[in-house]
A and B are shown apart, each in its own frame.
Chain A
Amino acid sequence: MSRKILLKSGRVVDPSQGLDEVLDLLLVGGIVASIGKDISAPEDADVMDCSGFIVSPGLIDVHVHLREPGEEHKETIATGVQAAVAGGYTAVCAMPNTDPPIDDPAAVGFVVAEGRKAQAARVYPVGCISVQRAGENLAPIGEMVDAGAVAITDDGNPVMNSGLMRLALEYAQAFDIPVADHPEDLGLSAGRHMNESIVSTRLGLAGKPNAAEEIHIVRDLLLAELTGGHIHLQHISTEFGVDAIRQAKARGVTVTAEASPHHLVLTEEAVEGYRTDAKMNPPLRTEKDVAAVRVGLSDGSLDVIATDHAPHHYDEKESAFEDAPNGLVGLETAVGIIMTDIVGEGVIDIATMIDRMSCGPARAFGLPGGTLSEGAVGDVTVIDPNLSWTVDPNTFRSKSRNTPFVGRELKGAPHRTIVAGRTVWTR
């Protein structure tokens, strides 16, 4: 007998079909069976009254670190996908900077298998660009794609060798996958800990200039233009970077790009007091950059909101700023942060938010979902736009607690997460 869920009278917002109206949605056997007014409930259906809630195609995060294998004290695939569904995500793309890195088909297969076992969000592995993420030789990209990889990246590290990046952008085209890059020129940034500015000068911390990121953004755009390949630029944090991507899109370059919630709402001021939870890479920048990232998100220069969920054990962050690792957990706060600070402040509307958190990610990485059209996968996120809540890391399902948003009061939160027609989390 196939599972049936009927979501009654929710505000269905599906930018892939230009939908934003109160409708019913019926999922049968793991797919969208029908969408419309007054769908009568099949006898054995689980019926949920969604009045007052937003019904969205399942949210997809194309940039998360699940830390397994190798750093299971920070996160595992099982805990990471629990955090994902509690944050409203029905699918995540797992970065390959694990130990060992995901650079061969067996490792990709491991992530696929562990993701299935966890029975929560879908887990799409991203393979390495280079063997051992060493930046020297191409990893077996075709075999990794056969095993389930949906993209390649050396994330955590940039690809410093432009020749290798060119090869990756050429070779990956046979498989229709994006090449994702963490744009950073290490010559300008290695051994540096925050944005380079008056704040870094005052705190006595070595700073990373915007140029460290922008040089690689421009390089990657040029290489995408040269090769015709699809470059996916991760966590854009600077004004010039956003402008460069906008211009490249206008020239017809195949580029997609991410904005991270923290780069949309926090500035380098968050580092004051040497707060290690505000240490991330790329670093938090200035008001001017935050404003530009917001414009980029709004006008579509930045296609997706991706959290760069980067769990770290508390004692790794409980250290001198220079010794602390980069990153913050993001899966369980993203919807609240975006609804409160980005939608709430009128930067984008709900439909655009859902485009950037669901449809955009599905398009950028060629993933199922991102739509509630009939016959699509039955991945749905039900959002309560009116729920007020306070960020309390002790309630996180993630193994880690590192967030600069602790204590933030937010409005808007996921209410129910449905993957393949099955409720995997509900508030």
Chain B
Amino acid sequence: MSPAMASSSVPALGKDLVGLESLSQEEILMILDTAEPFKEISERRIKKVPVLRGKTIVNLFFEASTRTRVSFEFAEKRLSADTVNISATGSSVIKGETLVDTARNLEAMRIYMVVMRHGSSGAARFLADRIPSNVINAGDGRHEHPTQGLLDLLTIRDHCDRIQGLKVCLVGDILHSRVARSNIYGLLKLGAEVAVCAPQTLLPSAIGDLGVQVFKRVEEAIEWADVLNVLRLQLERMEEGYVPSLREYNRIWGVTARKLEFAPQDLLILHPGPMNRGVEIDSDVADGSHSVILNQVTNGVAVRMAVLYLLAGGQPDSAEAVKAETGS
């Protein structure tokens, strides 16, 4: 075990990371601060430190994912963990195995950590309650996607130097979005003003009770916000009748260059990806001067390294020392 890991036996974060709702402001800041030194590791020629050497991590993805799974895998490998990827396709999951049996099998194989994405809200909590391994929620239904929320927070803090007092508006499908919930909890805990903007068909009925304001039109949101986080419109939502057509969605709710004409220079635009160019965001916005979308991706690896490190018992004030350790 590396010196940074041995410094204390008390985990700085609990056993699991299921969501941001249950974290305190201090815990969220601790993760963001711990991510800072890890950013640098990814810039090296040899991107590896031995923090999780000999630990086994399973990336259990019941839903398709490229970005999140790869980001976790890079984070794990840069910390020298042994990783196994299980995706729903070709696994026993589609043969009818229940979640509880999957959990029991993982437990029987003495897995150190599980990173799970699942289509059902609450699935991460379900797993976390049933196995002794650490569980990291990589997205559960429409509930939470905490590492996405954290990397969005880190990206906003990088560019604005603060989160307290910032006006952040989430634009798009809030109803089905786990990213939206994690962002709302994280931003509110760090003192941001939070708004949402979407057709009402894509807003949960009690969204205002979470402490956010609601804009009916995206033009109002742009005028108000310091930061826009544009959420993906899943194409099946149109088939389900939540919006009349993609063309109309782009025209009314899409973040387009025309709507940004009078926006301030320093308006920040995020998108958790994958983007539907020409639907919720236009290419000239995604690739334009407001966009920090690729910074989000880079920060994703650092934030996930921080979460893995902290759940493994690493101390936040030792994270800097980890950088000095060399991989084998």
Interface residues in chain A, defined as those with a beta carbon under 8 Å from any beta carbon in chain B: 196-198, 200-207, 209, 273-274, 315, 318-323
For residue B43, CB closer than 8 A to chain A, the reply is no
If A205-B122, A205-B142, A320-B99 are given as contacts, then 7 extra A-B residue pairs at C-beta distance below 8 Å, sorted by A number, are A198-B206, A202-B210, A203-B121, A203-B143, A318-B100, A319-B99, A321-B121
- Decide yes or no whether B23 CB sits under 8 A from chain A: no
Question: Can you identify 24 A-B contacts, CB atoms within 8 angstroms?
Answer: A196-B206, A197-B205, A197-B206, A198-B206, A200-B206, A201-B205, A201-B207, A202-B181, A203-B121, A204-B122, A204-B140, A204-B144, A205-B121, A205-B141, A207-B205, A273-B125, A274-B121, A274-B122, A274-B125, A274-B126, A318-B98, A318-B100, A320-B141, A323-B120
Contacts of B327 in A (CB 8 A): none
With both chains docked as a complex, state the minimum distance between the C-beta of A313 and any C-beta of chain B, in angstroms.
Answer: 12
> Which residue on chain B has the smallest CB distance to residue A193?
B121
Given contacts A274-B125, A322-B121, contact A200 B100 (CB under 8 A): no
User: For the complex, is B117 an interface residue (Cβ under 8 Å from A)?
Assistant: no
B118 within 8 A of A: yes
Contact B120 A320 (CB under 8 A): yes
Question: Please, how many angstroms separate the alpha-carbon atoms of A204 and B98 in the complex?
Answer: 21
Chain B nearest CB from A357 CB (Å) reads 35
Q: Do B209 and A322 touch (CB < 8 A)?
A: no
Is B54 on the interface with A (CB-CB < 8 A)? no
With the chains together, A121 CA to B142 CA distance in Å? 45
B152-179: contact bitstring with A at CB < 8 Å (1 yes, 0 no)?
A: 0000000000000000000000000010
CB distance from A46 to the nearest CB of B (A): 49
The yes or no answer to B113 lying at the interface (CB within 8 A) is no
In the bound complex, residues from chain A placing their C-beta under 8 Å from that of B210 are: 198, 201-202
A319 to B122, CA, bound (A): 10
- With a cutoff of 8 Å between Cβ atoms, the chain A residues found around residue B207 in the complex are 201
Produce 1/0 per residue, B112-147, CB < 8 A to A. Answer: 000000101111011000000000000011111000
Which residue of A202, A207, A273, A320 is within 8 Å of B123 (Cβ)?
A320
B100 — which chain A residues lie within 8 A by C-beta? Answer: 315, 318-319
Determine whether the beta carbon of A322 is less than 8 Å from that of B141.
yes
Give the docked Cα–Cα distance between A201 and B206 (Å): 6
Residues of B within 8 A of A201 (CB): 204-207, 209-210
> Do B204 and A321 touch (CB < 8 A)?
no
Closest Cβ–Cβ distance, residue B137 to chain A (whole Å): 11
**B320 in the interface (beta carbon within 8 A):** no
B21 within 8 A of A: yes
The answer to whether B142 and A320 touch across the interface, beta carbons within 8 angstroms, is: no
- Do A204 and B178 contact each other (CB < 8 Å), given the known contacts A197-B205, A315-B98, A319-B100? yes
Closest to B180 in A: A204
Evaluate contact between A198 and B209: CB separation under 8 angstroms: yes
Q: Which residues of A contact B205 (CB under 8 A)?
A: 196-197, 201, 207, 209
Bound form: Cα–Cα A100–B142 in Å: 35
A-contact bits for B172-201, CB 8 A (1 contact / 0 none): 000000100100000000000000000000
In Å, the complex CA distance between A321 and B125 comes to 11
CB–CB A204/B99 < 8 A? no
> CB < 8 Å: which of B121, B126, B206, B209 contacts A204?
B121
- Expressed in whole angstroms, the minimum distance between the Cβ of A186 and any Cβ of chain B is 15
Q: Contact partner of B141 among A198, A204, A273, CB < 8 A?
A: A204
Name the residue among A202, A318, A323 with the largest chain B CB count within 10 angstroms.
A202
Q: Which B residues lie within 8 Å of A207 (CB)? A: 204-205
Cα separation A202 to B19 with both chains bound (whole Å): 11
Select from chain B the residue with minimum beta-carbon distance to A320: B120
Closest residue of chain B to A191 (Cβ to Cβ) is B240
- Inter-chain CA distance A221–B99, complex, in Å, is 43
CA distance A399 to B142 in the complex (A): 34
Closest to B209 in A: A198
With A and B bound together, what is the CA distance between A204 and B18 in angstroms? 13
User: Which residues of chain A come closer than 8 Å to B204, judged between CB atoms?
Assistant: 200-201, 207
Inter-chain CA distance A320–B120, complex, in Å, is: 6
Bound Cα distance from A273 to B143, whole angstroms: 12
Q: Which residue of A lies closest to B142 (CB)?
A: A204
Q: How far is the CA of A388 from the CA of B121 in the complex (A)?
A: 38
CB distance from B170 to the nearest CB of A (A): 14
Q: How far is the CA of A246 from the CA of B209 in the complex (A)?
A: 32
CB B22 to nearest CB in A, in angstroms, measures: 11
What's the minimum C-beta distance from B67 to chain A, rounded to whole angstroms?
20
What residues of chain B lie closer than 8 Å to A273, measured between beta carbons? 125
- Most chain A C-beta atoms within 10 Å of own C-beta, residue among B122, B126, B143: B122
Closest chain-A Cβ to B189's Cβ sits at a distance in Å of 14
Interfacial chain A residues near B118, Cβ < 8 Å: 320
Question: Nearest chain-B residue to A197 (Cβ)?
Answer: B206
Q: CA of A315 to CA of B126 in the docked complex: distance in angstroms?
A: 13
Q: Which of chain B's residues have a CB closer than 8 A to the CB of A203? A: 121-122, 143
CB distance from B272 to the nearest CB of A (A): 16
| Residue numbers in A under 8 Å from B143 (CB-CB) | 203-205
Interface positions, chain B 208-249, Cβ under 8 Å from A, are 209-210
A203 CA to B99 CA, complexed, in Å: 19
Q: Is B123's CB under 8 angstroms from A204's CB? A: no
B21: A residues at CB distance < 8 A: 202
B120, A321: Cβ atoms under 8 Å? yes
Closest CB pairs A-B (n = 3) = A204-B143, A274-B122, A320-B120
Evaluate contact between A320 and B122: CB separation under 8 angstroms. Answer: yes
**Chain B residues positioned under 8 Å from A323 (CB to CB):** 99, 120
C-alpha spacing A320/B127, complex, angstroms: 9
B-chain residues with CB within 8 Å of residue A197 when the two chains form the complex: 205-206
